[in-house]
Chain A
Amino acid sequence: MPDLPVVLLAEDSEDDVIIFRRTMSQAFIDFPLFVAKDGEETIAYLKGTGKFGNRSEFPVPDLLLLDLVMPEINGFEVLEWIRDQPGLGSLPVVVLTSSETIHDVKLANQLGAHSFLVKPIKSKDLLQLNCVLPANKSLKITSPPAEDPENVQVRTTGSGCPI
C-alpha cells in the first residue's frame, strides 16, 4: 500500500498557494504539503538548515513543485543547485509556469526538471503527479466525488503517463 508523498511547493505568490490548496480539496486529494516562499527557503528546506533541520516537523520531500518565477533566487537557480547535490538525484521536480512564460520550460528541462504544469493547476494535473512519484508513493483521492468522471482516474504508468 503506497504512502502519501511529501510535497514541497516552492511558490512566492500567496494567492497561488491558496489556489493550489483549494484545487487539492476540490479534487479530494490530500497529502502533506509544505510551502517555501522563495528560492532561498526552498534550498534551506532541501538542505535541512535552520528550522528545517527538524525533519519530523519538515520531512524530506518526495516531490518538488517549483515555481520558476520567484524573487531573489529563482526556480532556475534552484534547479541548478539541485543538479549539483548528489543526494537529490532522485527528487522529481515539476516546474510551474504560466502560459505567457511557457518557453521558460525549455531551460528548466535542460536544467533537469522532470516535467511542467501550467498555472493555474487543475485537478487532473494533480492526479497526473502520480506519474512522477516512485512506486511506493501515491496521491490518493480521499473521497471520490459523485459525478465527476474526470476525477475518477486510475494512476497510469509507462507511456500512458502524460507528465
Chain B
Amino acid sequence: MPETRPILLVEDREDDVFLVRRAFEKAYLLNPLQVVRNGEEAVAYLKGEGTYANRAGYPLPSLILLDLKLPGMDGFDVLRWIRQEPNFGSLPVIVLTSSEQIRDVNRAYQLGANSFLVKPTDFQNPLVSPERN
C-alpha cells in the first residue's frame, strides 16, 4: 500500500517548487506534495492552525523538505521549532540548500536535520528520491 501521507515542502521560490514537483513526477513518488511558502505557514500547517485545522484536507506529513533560506522565519528557526515540539521530534526533515550555501548544512545537522539535498542539481537527477535519502 503506497504511503499516502503528504510530503510538506517549505519553499518560497516558485522555480524551486516546480523543480521539486517535477523531480517527484520523474521518480514516480505517489505522496501528495503540500507546499507552504514560508516558515510561519509551515508552523501553522504542523500546528493545524487556521486553514490547516482541516486535517482531512491538510494531513500531517510523513516528511518535510525544508528550504533553509526563507523570508521571515528562516529554515533554521523552523527546524528548531520542529525539534522542540514533542509530536514532531522524530519527523524526518530534509533541508534544501544550494552549493554556495552548503556550509549551512552543518548548522542544520546541529539543529536536528536528518539529511539534505542540493538545489538544483539533486533535483535534476530523476533517480533522486527524498524518501530513500
Q: B105 on the interface (CB 8 Å rule)?
A: yes
A163, B106: Cβ atoms closer than 8 Å: yes
> Which B residues from 78 to 129 make CB contacts under 8 A with A?
80, 99, 102-107, 109-110, 115-116, 118
> Which A residues from 122 to 163 make CB contacts under 8 A with B?
159, 161-163
A163, B116: Cβ atoms closer than 8 Å: no
A115, B106: Cβ atoms closer than 8 Å: yes
Q: Is the interface of B mostly helix, strand, loop or mixed?
A: helix
B102, A118: Cβ atoms closer than 8 Å: yes
Q: Which among A28-36, A54-62, A84-92, A101-109 touches the partner chain?
A: A101-109
In whole angstroms, what is the CA distance A163 to B107 when docked? Answer: 6
B103, A162: Cβ atoms closer than 8 Å: yes
Number of interface residues of A (CB under 8 A): 13
In whole angstroms, what is the CA distance A117 to B106 when docked? Answer: 9
B103, A105: Cβ atoms closer than 8 Å: no
Which B residues touch A116, using CB under 8 A?
A: 105-106
Interface residues of B (CB under 8 A from A): 76, 80, 99, 102-107, 109-110, 115-116, 118, 133
Q: List 27 A-B contacts (CB under 8 A).
A: A99-B99, A99-B102, A102-B99, A102-B102, A102-B118, A105-B105, A105-B116, A106-B115, A106-B116, A106-B133, A109-B109, A115-B106, A115-B109, A115-B110, A116-B105, A117-B103, A118-B102, A118-B103, A159-B80, A161-B107, A161-B110, A162-B103, A162-B106, A162-B107, A163-B103, A163-B106, A163-B107
Of all A-B residue pairs in the complex, the 10 with the closest CB atoms, nearest first, are A115-B106, A163-B106, A162-B107, A106-B115, A109-B109, A102-B102, A99-B99, A162-B106, A118-B102, A116-B106
